[in-house]
A and B are shown apart, each in its own frame.
Chain A
Amino acid sequence: MFVDFFYHLRRFGLKVTITEWLSLMEALVVGHERASLDAFYHLARCLLVKRETDYDTFDRAFAAYFRGIENGPDITEELLNWLEDPLLPDISVEDRAKLEALELNELLQRFHELLEEQNERHDGGNRWIGTGGTSPFGHHGVNPAGIRVGGGGSGGGSAVQVAESRRFQNLRSDRILDTRQIGVALRRLKRLNKSDGPEELDLEASIDASARNAGEIELVFAPPRRNRIKLMLLMDVGGSMDPFTTLCERLFSAAHAANHFKEFEHRFFHNCVYETLYTDISRWEGEPTTNVLANLDHTWSVVFVGDAWMAPYELTNVNGSLNYFHRNSITGLEWLQRIRERVPNSVWLNPMTSEHWGATSTRLIHSVFPMFELSIDGLTEAIDVLRGSRPNRPLTAPLSKTSYF
C-alpha cells in the first residue's frame, strides 16, 4: 500500500527515482523516533523533491494522497485503517528490535522483491505492509507518539493542511519568468569554437611544451574560444500580443543584455511575417524581408515570439494581411516556410500555454516551426532544439486543406 505513494508521486509528474525512494526508507528507519505525518512530509520532501519548482506539485500530490487523514479526533485509527494492517498495533518487542536492526541492504532487497510483486499485481500493494508489519513505515504507525499530527511549530496546521495551502505555488517553473531567469536560460545557448582575433597564453600547452623542452620555458599562444551563435529574434507586437507585453519585454531585454552571442539582431512584425520586417515596435521603420533573409543563413538561429493566433486567411491567402491597406502577394505561411528553409535552426515561442494552441493558425505555424511555451521550461526546451540536443521537429499531424478556413 505504501509503495503506492511512490507511484502516486510519479503520476503527478515528479521524477522520483528508486534510489531516492530507498533513501527515504532508510531515513524512516533511522529517524523512527520522530514519526508523524509532519515529519514524514519534511522527510519525503527533502529526499524526493530536488527543485523548489516541484514543491507545489509535491504539495498537491501529498494533499491528495493523505487527505482525510488529518481531521477528526481518531487520527490514529484512520491512519492505521489507511495502512490497512490489523497486525500493526500488536507488534511485539522482538519484532520491534528486528525492525530497528534492519539493514539497508536487506531493506533494498526486500524493496526490489516487493517492487517486482507490485508489477505483477497492482492491487497487491497491501501485502507489503501486511506481512507482519516489517515495513519501516508501518512501524511508525504503532509508535503511540508517532501519529501526532499538527502543531510542531511549523507555522501551524498539519502536514496535509500545510501541503494544501500550496505555499510554493509561485515557485513553479511553468509560471514565472524574469529577466534574469531568461538570461540564465539564454546563456546555455552557445556553441564554442576557436575564433580569430588576438591570441591568449595557453597555460596547459605552455607547461606541456616546457616539460618536453627539458624545463626550458616555452610559451604557447592560441586563439581564444568564442561563442559562434548568431541569434535573430522576431517578435509579434500589438493586438492580441498586448497582454504579453511585459513578458516579451523581459525576453527582449535579457537577449539584448546577453553579450555572449556572436551577433544578435531583432525585428518586429504584426501577427505574421510578410514582405517587410520592422526595426521599431511602432512598425514605421522597416526593411524588406528578402534583405533580412539574404543576411541570414544556416549558421544563424531564429527565435519567433508570438501567439500565432489570427484568422487562418492571414496566413494562407494572398492579401490576407490584417492591415486593410496592406497588399501581400505572397502568403504569410509561404514567408514563414521560406524563413524555415533558409534557417532550419528556428523555433517559435508562444506566450500562450499549450492548451490554447488548438486554433487553425497556431497549428499551421506549428507545422512549420517547433513550438514551445514562453516559460522557463519551454525556453529551455527551445534552446535545446537550437543547440541540437533535442530533435528539431515541427508538428507533423497534417491539416486537411479544408480546415484552413
Chain B
Amino acid sequence: MSFNRFQGTDTYLVTPELRDAVNVAIALQKPLLIRGEPGTGKTVLAEAVAESLQMKLLTWNIKSTSKAQEGLYVYDTVQRLNDARFGEGDISDIRRYIKLGPLGKSLTSEQRVVLLIDEIDKADMEFPNDLLHELDRMSFSVAETGEHFSAKERPIVIITSNNEKELPDAFLRRCVFHYIAFPDRTIMADIVRVHHPNVEEELLKQVLLRFYWLRDLPTIRKRPSTSELVDWIAALQRGGISTYTLAAEMPFLGVLLKRENDVEAVLAMRN
C-alpha cells in the first residue's frame, strides 16, 4: 500500500505533519482525530481528503444530544406506530423503519467513503466510548432485524474536536492524533493567496502584520482566526483600502473582532 496518498488539494494547503498524519490514518485504517483552534480548517480537511482521493464524503454533525446509536441507525418506532394505527404501509417489514445514520451508511457503502464526525466533543462524555466497537470492527448489527453489516471497504474516518471536553483514553488510544497549530506567517500568506490570488504583496504584508499583532494582544478574549482574516482581506479589497490607509488605521475591525470588549480594547490601545 502506498503511503503518500493524500497530498492536499489546490485550495487546501497541508503541512507535512498533517499530511503524514492523514496518510498514517489511511494506511493503518484508524480514525484520525483532529484538534485545533476554531478556523484552522479541521472540517475542511475531510472535504479536501474526499476530493483528493475522489471519494464520497459523509458528514455526521454531532450535537449535545447526539447518541452513538443514531449514527448507525434509527428505528423509527413512532412512524411504524403511526402506520399501524392508520393502516398505512407494510408494518410487518421492520426494515422499512430502519433509517441508517451517517456511520451506518459509511459501513454499508459499496465504495470506500470518507466519514467526517464533526465536533465529537459536543456530545455527552460517554459518546466516544460507545463508538469504539463499531470503529474498531467496522461492522454493526441491527438488533431489530438481526441483520449484520460489515464494511466491504473500511471508510476513512476523520473526527474533529474543539477540545470542549476531554475525550476518553480508550478512544484516544485507537486514534491517530493531530493538533493543527495556528498557521505561522509564511503558511498564512500561502493560505491567503489561495483565497485571494490577486492580493498585492504589500497589502498582504501589512495585513498579516496587523493580524498577528491583534492575535498576540493579551487583552483580546476571542482571537481572530483564519476565516476572519480571509474575510477581512475581502472587505479591504472591496472597500478599496490602500496600504497607506491600513498602516494608519484599522478599517473594518468588526470583521476580525466579534466581541465589543475586544474592539474597545484595541481602539483604546491605538489611541
Contact = CB atoms under 8 A, between A and B. Distances in A.
Interface in A80-114: none
A27 interface: yes
B15 A154 contact: yes
A23 B81 contact: no
A207 interface: yes
Interface string B136-170: 00000000000000000000000000001110010
Contact of B179 (A19, A39, A171, A184): A171
Interface stretch (A49-57, A261-269, A364-372): A49-57
Contacts of B174: 19
B27 A30 contact: yes
Contacts of A210: 81
| Chain A interface helix/strand/loop/mixed | helix
Interface stretch (B28-36, B96-104, B196-204, B225-233): B28-36
B81 A215 contact: yes
Contacts of A168: 179, 181
Contact of B3 (A23, A33, A215): A33
A3 B246 CA distance: 56
A167 interface: yes
Interface string A167-190: 110010000000000001000100
A155 interface: yes
Contacts of A215: 81, 84-85
B164 to A, nearest CB: 6
Given A23-B28, A27-B28, A50 B81 contact: no
A320 to B, nearest CB: 38
B159 to A, nearest CB: 12
Interface stretch (B16-24, B110-118, B237-245, B263-271): B16-24
Nearest to B19: A42
Given A30-B1, A155-B184, A46 B24 contact: yes
Interface string B19-54: 011011001101001010000000000000000000
Contacts of B15: 154
Interface in A8-39: 15, 17, 19-20, 23, 26-27, 30-31, 33-34, 38-39
Given A31-B3, A52-B35, A42 B177 contact: no
A43 B28 CA distance: 12
Given A34-B4, A55-B179, A27 B24 contact: yes
B175 interface: yes
B128 to A, nearest CB: 12
Contacts of B23: 31
A155 B174 CA distance: 29
Contact of A30 (B17, B28, B173): B28
A211 B81 contact: yes
Nearest to A167: B181
B55 interface: no
Contacts of B193: none
Contact of B27 (A15, A19, A27): A27
A215 B173 CA distance: 46
B107 interface: no
Given A51-B177, A171-B179, 5 more contacts: A19-B174, A30-B27, A50-B177, A155-B184, A184-B165
Interface of B: 1, 3-4, 15-17, 20-21, 23-24, 27-28, 30, 33, 35, 77-78, 81, 84-85, 125, 164-166, 169, 172-179, 181, 184, 186
Q: Which 8 A-B pairs have the closest CB atoms?
A: A52-B179, A50-B172, A42-B20, A31-B3, A46-B21, A50-B177, A30-B27, A154-B16
